[in-house]
Structure 1
Amino acid sequence: MYTFSEIKIALSESLAKVEQFIQTVSPATLHAKPTAKWSIAEELFHLISSDMGSAQAFSQSASTLRETRHSLRNYNEIVAEYREKYAMGGIVIPTHLVPDEETHNRQQMQFLDDFSRAASTLQQSLSTWTEDILDLFTVWKHPLLGPVTAREMLFFTIFHNRHHLASMQAKQTYLENNAKM
């Protein structure tokens, strides 16, 4: 998963799997909090906001971006660095990515519509990017990873979708198993 074509396929798959998952979430599990961490609804809000942020980053014209000044990292390096720094603590999630009070009033279909729109916007935002410029420009400064190129941002976005999907699936399984008791 290193060429732009392979990355776009992996991104599309990660987005489709989240979309499919949203369709399986029952009203009883959507807002339930099995742990002190976020509910499925809160994770969906965070994921939708994050994917829209990625779309915004890719909507910028390359001519307005800074040239990359760091060594390039592959998918596995992005994931390992993120996990290492996350485990050390100290991440401050930007406020626009933190669930708000309105999140608690939203239902499954609203999340599905918003996620579908975010996924579509993100994929459309890649239309002006090409393989030969993915590593040339810094598109964002991640709170833990620092400056990231377009390719690194795509790696992170794929990982981030997969990470939150696994977390939401675990919460769903836990809630469904404990509701039957």
Structure 2
Amino acid sequence: MKAPLSPHTRDELLAALDGAQAAWVDTVAALPLPDYFRAPAPGRWSPAEHLAHLALTHGRVAQGLGVPRPALRLLFGAPATARTYEGVRGAYQARLAAGGRAPARYVPRPVTAHDAATRDAQVAAYVTAATRVRSALAGWPEAALDRHALPHDLLGRLSARELLFFTVYHDHHHLRGALAAPETP
């Protein structure tokens, strides 16, 4: 897995989001089906659960980016911060270290069928949601990314650019989790 660089511009973010999606699709394609559904340890997510979580979060990011910018300004005001990719990554890592976890609405539902059709449907849902994020971002002018805020459950109010930094990092964070070696009995 190639680690993300330090995207900043809209075009760099689009490329980083596309690269993260490609890394996920390639990884899932290479995983044997039983490994895709197997959690590495009790209480940890399987690759299937990581991917389902990302489909949920990407859907929410795409929804937020699709809100008309004047409405975002009325709802959330101006961004409070102007962090770099590294700053957002560090803030997220600190929140996780302090016990932060995904809210219930982003926790994937258990799947009962551990078959290729279920895997393919999960990949398709993720690809659709990730594509929606990139499509929404493509409609944003560069300067607007720093002038409009959106909420984040763990990080608070973020600029649109910061939310996209988070989204890129979040994909890679969960890919690392999905590739964690299972514990041996």
TM over 0.5: yes
In structure 2, runs of 5+ residues without a counterpart are 1-6
Instruction: Kindly report which structure 2 residues correspond to 1:6-17, keeping only aligned pairs within 5 A, or say none.
Output: 6-17=12-23
Instruction: Kindly report which structure 2 residues correspond to 1:107-146, keeping only aligned pairs within 5 A, or say none.
Output: 107-139=118-150, 141-146=151-156
**Aligned partners of 1:98, 1:13: CA distance in 2, in Å?**
24
Is the aligned partner of 1:160 residue 2:170? yes
Give the secondary-structure state (helix, strand or coil) at the position aligned to 1:34.
coil
Please say if residues 42 and 99 of structure 1, whose CA atoms lie closer than 8 Å, have aligned partners that are also in contact: yes
Instruction: Kindly report which structure 2 residues correspond to 1:30-49, keeping only aligned pairs within 5 A, or say none.
Output: 30-35=36-41, 36-49=43-56
Please say if residues 147 and 159 of structure 2, whose CA atoms lie closer than 8 Å, have aligned partners that are also in contact: yes
Partner of 1:24: 30
Is the aligned partner of 1:105 residue 2:116? no
Letter in 1 for 2:121: Q
Q: TM-score, normalised by structure 2?
A: 0.85
Q: TM-score, normalised by structure 1?
A: 0.87
How many pairs align? 172
In structure 1, runs of 5+ residues without a counterpart are none
Q: Following superposition, which runs of at least 4 residues in structure 1 exceed 6 angstroms of deviation?
A: none
Please say if residues 135 and 149 of structure 1, whose CA atoms lie closer than 8 Å, have aligned partners that are also in contact: yes
More helix by share: 1
Q: Pick the aligned partner of 2:62 from 45, 55, 68.
A: 55
How big is the alpha-carbon RMSD for the aligned residues of Structure 1 and Structure 2?
A: 1.8
Q: What is the CA deviation profile of residues 80-130 of structure 1, one whole-angstrom value per residue up to 9, with x for unaligned ones?
A: 1111121011x25222211113x3436221122112211211111113201
Q: What is the CA deviation profile of residues 112-166 of structure 1, one whole-angstrom value per residue up to 9, with x for unaligned ones?
A: 2112211211111113201010010112x21221101110000000000010111
Give the secondary-structure state (helix, strand or coil) at the position aligned to 1:65.
helix
